[in-house]
Amino acid sequence: MIAVLDYGSQFCHLAARRIRALGAYAEIFPNTTTAAALKNKKVEGVILSGGPRSVYERDAPTVDKSIFSMGVPILGICYGHQLLAYVLGGSVVPSSREYGKETLTAVKKSRLMGGLGKKEQVWMSHGDSVVKLPHGFTLTGKTRGCKIAAYADEKKRIYGLQFHPEVQHTMHGMRILENFLSICGCKRSYTIKGLDKKLVAEIKAKVGNGAVIMGVSGGVDSLVASALIKMATQNIYCVFVDHGIIRKGEAEYVRKLYEALGFRHYYYADASQIFYTRLKGVTDPEEKRRIIGRTFIEVFEAKVKELKARHGEIKLLGQGTIYPDRIESAKASKAASVIKTHHNVGGLPAKMKLKLVEPLKDLYKDEVRELGMMIGLPKEALMRHPFPGPGLAVRIVGEITAERIGIVQEADFIFTDELKKSGQYDRIWQAFAALLPVKAVGVMGDSRSYGYIIALRAVTSVDGMTADWAKIPNDVLERAASRIVKNVRGVTRVVYDITQKPPATIEYE
């Protein structure tokens, strides 16, 4: 196993995910984890992730120095690169910022960079730089703005990279990580084959004859989790809370899906009016998320009470929590800077006194999809794009009104339809329409009209942590845009969003 120590970078998970994709198991650990704890876990290599702090700041996260005498290879990335240099006797200073694609020039060969060219495209994001290397370290790579962009101590097998090998814009990043696994001597035998049987057995042992209640959304995670729980017990009660800010036709779609899969107990809670009332006039994105999160819990609790009265005691709560949700909500390290409040994890209050059943808690999204295929769930349902818990609330910038919801739903439906018809949908991580609360002029018939601007967003991504805008053929975009303006009242203009994440996020709020 490879341990990834978390210094708060949003790419921390990406590093672990990439290692798993290369066939070695990786887990995230808080940066305060001791060498003794890592030894207990039989760790074969350690990665120090990036992070937003500066190593020379007071209270900046550091590393247990005993890790250096564990005898396992160590790779520092970005903050990790600076931290290794700093604690081993080098120096780190504030420098000019490098952000985005840069060219790395190899200065000296290293095992870590084996098979790479003299010049390589890498992706940078830093404001500090290592300016002096510790004794025994060799400079292996530099960029225009960073004199020490890569270093190595081949004897101790300690490596540092100022750039991020885990992001897709670093052209041969996977090769670098592969080299690191070879240096670690990892077997690379990690696979999820057979995991379904193991998980079902674990659920059976936990659940016994008890009843499990579960909120389902129609999304991939809750679908796969509920299907696994159903394989362990028929005593699962699925509840779909409709907050009214969902995709067009979604409630009907989910009901049919669960019916077709043979779930005996499926319940629908229409709570849209309560949500609309509470969201009236609210424009602050985090406030919207808080209201939706709180109200969701209230409605769900009321449903649990009702079901208990009808069916008897329910002591277990099923959840489709996946690995990144869990680590993000646990704020793995003090360094983790919260970008958004994700309401769907850990939101259900402890006072409900329900024991959690979370079969997917150690898996990444693509592993969840693979598992879903293994247990025979419909491909169409598994390939659905992710949909955020707060739904269209984070795609309607500003106040949510019934008119705006209707507009976004229709535009989103048309865009999705065009993507499916043209075969683009499955190539894309996530695509949707968002409403911008400004009005632009248009000409309809002979008169000028003012209407909203719809932004179409489609991104390719491995796990939503970094994303590139999808290069959709122009004719598909054109068809979607003209259908939207023609059919959705209140829209005069459609734009296509071509920003990457980072610096932008996928959603609009």
By the 8 A CB rule, do 211 and 316 touch? Answer: yes
By the 8 A CB rule, do 196 and 295 touch? Answer: no
Rule CB under 6 A: is residue 182 a binding residue for ligand XMP? no
Q: Which is nearer to ligand XMP, 179 or 424 (CB)?
A: 424
Which amino acid would we find at residue 29? F
Pairing of strands 138-142, 26-30: unpaired
Both tokens of 328, joined, read 């993000």
Of residues 8, 320, 390, 451, which one binds ligand XMP by CB under 6 A? 390
Alpha carbons 337 and 323: distance in angstroms, whole number:
18
| Residues numbered 425-454 forming contacts with ligand XMP, rule: CB under 6 A | 430
Binding segment for ligand XMP among 153-161, 272-280, 346-354, 501-509 (CB under 6 A)?
Answer: 501-509
Q: Which is nearer to ligand XMP, 201 or 356 (CB)?
A: 356
Of residues 18, 53, 342, 384, which one binds ligand XMP by CB under 6 A? 342
Shortest distance, position 228 Cβ to ligand XMP, whole Å = 20
Q: Which is nearer to ligand XMP, 30 or 390 (CB)?
A: 390
Alpha helices in 132-270 (DSSP H): 173-184, 195-207, 220-232, 250-260
Q: What is the full DSSP assignment across 267-307?
A: EEEE-HHHHHHHHTT---HHHHHHHHHHHHHHHHHHHHHHH
Pairing of strands 45-48, 468-469: unpaired
Task: Examine the residue annotation and report whether 238 is marked as an active-site residue of this protein.
Answer: no
Both tokens of 243, joined, read 């907050």
Both tokens of 352, joined, read 């409900």
Choose, from 164, 243, 342, 343, the residue flagged as catalytic.
164
Alpha carbons 156 and 148: distance in angstroms, whole number:
19
Q: Which is nearer to ligand XMP, 7 or 508 (CB)?
A: 508
Alpha carbons 212 and 356: distance in angstroms, whole number:
9
Shortest distance, position 343 Cβ to ligand XMP, whole Å = 6
* Residues 6 or more apart in contact with residue 468 via CB below 8 angstroms: 168, 459, 460, 461, 500
Binding segment for ligand XMP among 51-59, 85-93, 342-350, 369-377 (CB under 6 A)?
Answer: 342-350
Choose, from 44, 102, 166, 410, the residue flagged as catalytic.
166
Rule CB under 6 A: is residue 506 a binding residue for ligand XMP? yes
Alpha carbons 217 and 76: distance in angstroms, whole number:
39
Binding segment for ligand XMP among 12-20, 132-140, 474-482, 499-507 (CB under 6 A)?
Answer: 499-507
CA of residue 81 relative to chain centroid, distance: 24
Task: Examine the residue annotation and report whether 78 is marked as an active-site residue of this protein.
Answer: yes
Q: Which is nearer to ligand XMP, 141 or 320 (CB)?
A: 320
| Residues numbered 459-498 forming contacts with ligand XMP, rule: CB under 6 A | 464
Of residues 244, 347, 388, 451, which one binds ligand XMP by CB under 6 A? 388
Rule CB under 6 A: is residue 289 a binding residue for ligand XMP? yes
Rule CB under 6 A: is residue 169 a binding residue for ligand XMP? no
Rule CB under 6 A: is residue 319 a binding residue for ligand XMP? no
Nearest to 482 by CA among 411, 395, 407: 411
Rule CB under 6 A: is residue 389 a binding residue for ligand XMP? yes
Contacts with ligand XMP, 107-136, as mask; x by CB under 6 A = ------------------------------
Q: Which is nearer to ligand XMP, 111 or 501 (CB)?
A: 501
Shortest distance, position 18 Cβ to ligand XMP, whole Å = 18
Rule CB under 6 A: is residue 178 a binding residue for ligand XMP? no
Task: Examine the residue annotation and report whether 164 is marked as an active-site residue of this protein.
Answer: yes
By the 8 A CB rule, do 455 and 434 touch? Answer: yes
CA of residue 138 relative to chain centroid, distance: 35
| Enclosing H/E stretch for 13 | helix 12-21
Q: Which is nearer to ligand XMP, 90 or 388 (CB)?
A: 388
Q: Report, as residue numbers or ranges, the catalytic residues.
A: 78, 164, 166
Where along the sequence are the contacts to ligand XMP (CB under 6 A)?
289, 340, 342-344, 386, 388-390, 394, 430, 464, 501, 505-507
